[in-house]
Amino acid sequence: MKNAEPGSRPARNRSGRRSRRRLLLGITAGIAVAGGIVMATTGTAGASVNLLRSMNAKVSMTATSGAGSSASASASAAASTSSDSSTSSAATKAATKAAAKTPAASASAKASASASASASASKTVATAPLTTTGESVVLTSDEQPSQVGAIFSGSISDGHSCTASVVDSPLGNLIVTAAHCLSSGSSGSIFVPGYHDGAAPYGEWKITDVIESSAWTDNQSEDDDVAFAVVEPLNGKSLQSVVGAYSLDTSGVTDTTVQITGYPSDTDEPISGTCSSSAYSSSQLVVNCTGYPGGTSGSGWVENYNATTGTGSIIGVIGGYEEGGDTDDTSYAALFDDSVQSLFEQAKAAAA
């Protein structure tokens, strides 16, 4: 709190002022030697005024409490708050930034933070960063999107084989992946969203049903290498209510920029990259994006990705031609069109 200047206080009687001035002259040398006051500015008239105000406040505190250490602290505080406006403004901004980064910052310090700092502090979801187009990077746990996870065959100790993403649905219990990642019907597999370094930050979600096209189950049609899976609630909550979800776009988008996040099977660290999607054929998409080996099958291709909110729309999943591709740097996906929308409607019905 800013201390009031001596001149702003109620007038005191003349003898009190004279006594204080005499006392001030008597202790000035002692204060200078003890280093009780360090002036931020020197050699100006403003500095002299600041010194006079600081020592004047010190005298007042000394006369009131008789405690030299308390007077010194009061004088130092007064000197700091009497600095020129530019120095005070810079100090305030620095203090505000420091307070915003401190977990135990007071409510008043938080209220002083800038709009951008407040937005950053209120952010509660991790988001994958945009990358140089065509290149993937390894994500830290703080960058791992909660909507993306690894598929395990039975338990988290069994190793992961594919990737899946939560897709927006009425009951919030659907994920989308490649059909070659799961078997149609009931499954003993689990989905672990946000998986990183052996940890399951949002829990392990049991897959209870898998919905695939008959064109895949009967003939393994590469144009139908898409599957939706139902997960059961965990601790009374739906998957989507815990981790969020991407929307589904089945309009047949081809040429666009997508964000692809997946789990290589030989590591517990996910990767993510910003990639350029294009039509490989009338029913397949392709991206030339580095570093998507086995295990990244089923990774969602997220269009209109927002690196701040982590939102976007899935237009495909790694799969399709060559079950996603024979090399790490080129990946494919079956086009999301009316047939995928029909499959999604079946999945919603199965989840109800």
Tell me which amino acid residue 344 is: F
CATH assignment of the domain containing 286: 2.40.10.10
Tell me which amino acid residue 57 is: A
Higher pLDDT, 73 or 200: 200
329 Cα distance to chain centroid: 28
Tell me which amino acid residue 278 is: S
What is d(CA 336, CA 327) in angstroms, rounded to the nearest whole number?
Answer: 22
pLDDT at 72 over 70: no
| Residue at 338 is within a domain | yes
Distances (CA, A) of 304 to 15, 87, 212, 311, 336: 77, 44, 26, 8, 15
* Whether residues 77 and 90 fall in one domain: no
| Residue at 127 is within a domain | no
Number of domains in the chain: 3
* Whether residues 292 and 149 fall in one domain: yes
What rounded mean pLDDT belongs to the chain?
A: 75
* Helix, strand or coil, per DSSP, at residue 80: helix
What is d(CA 329, CA 325) in angstroms, rounded to the nearest whole number?
Answer: 9
The tens digit of pLDDT for each residue in 229-271 reads 999 999 999 999 999 999 999 999 999 999 999 999 999 999 9
* Whether residues 175 and 140 fall in one domain: yes
> Which of 235, 227, 234 has the alpha carbon at shortest distance from 209?
227
The tens digit of pLDDT for each residue in 143-200 reads 999 999 999 988 898 889 999 999 999 999 999 999 999 987 666 899 999 999 999 9
* Whether residues 196 and 233 fall in one domain: yes
Tokens describing residue 215? 């064109």
| Residue at 1 is within a domain | no
* Whether residues 65 and 203 fall in one domain: no
Owner of token pair 């695939």: 212
| Residue at 265 is within a domain | yes
Q: If you write DSSP's letter for every residue of 155-206 in order, what string do you get? A: SGGG-EEEEEEEB--TTS-EEEE-GGGS-SB----EEEET-BTTB-TT--EE
> Which of 88, 19, 87 has the alpha carbon at shortest distance from 56?
19
* Whether residues 209 and 235 fall in one domain: yes
Tokens describing residue 321? 């031609």
* Whether residues 62 and 111 fall in one domain: no
> Which of 169, 343, 341, 168 has the alpha carbon at shortest distance from 250?
341
Tokens describing residue 67? 């405690």
Do the Cβ atoms of 343 and 212 come closer than 8 Å? yes
* Whether residues 77 and 101 fall in one domain: no
Tokens describing residue 270? 């996910």
> Which of 289, 302, 285 has the alpha carbon at shortest distance from 337?
285
The tens digit of pLDDT for each residue in 206-228 reads 999 999 999 999 999 999 999 99
Higher pLDDT, 138 or 53: 138
Q: What are phi and psi of 318, to 5 degrees?
A: -60, 120
pLDDT at 142 over 60: yes
| Residue at 128 is within a domain | no
The tens digit of pLDDT for each residue in 260-304 reads 999 999 999 999 999 999 999 999 999 999 999 999 999 999 999
* Whether residues 111 and 37 fall in one domain: no
What is d(CA 298, CA 237) in angstroms, rounded to the nearest whole number?
Answer: 24
pLDDT at 13 over 90: no
* Whether residues 260 and 305 fall in one domain: yes
| Residue at 118 is within a domain | yes
What is d(CA 221, CA 241) in angstroms, rounded to the nearest whole number?
Answer: 34
| Residue at 327 is within a domain | yes
* Whether residues 96 and 182 fall in one domain: no
Helix (H) or strand (E) holding 91: helix 85-101
The tens digit of pLDDT for each residue in 94-136 reads 333 333 333 333 333 333 333 333 223 233 468 999 999 999 9
Specify the pairing of strand 330-334 against strand 174-177: unpaired
What is d(CA 67, CA 61) in angstroms, rounded to the nearest whole number?
Answer: 8
| Residue at 304 is within a domain | yes
* Whether residues 157 and 266 fall in one domain: yes
Domain holding 96, by residue range, is: 86-122
Distances (CA, A) of 350 to 152, 244, 337: 22, 20, 20
> Which of 59, 48, 57, 69 has the alpha carbon at shortest distance from 24?
59
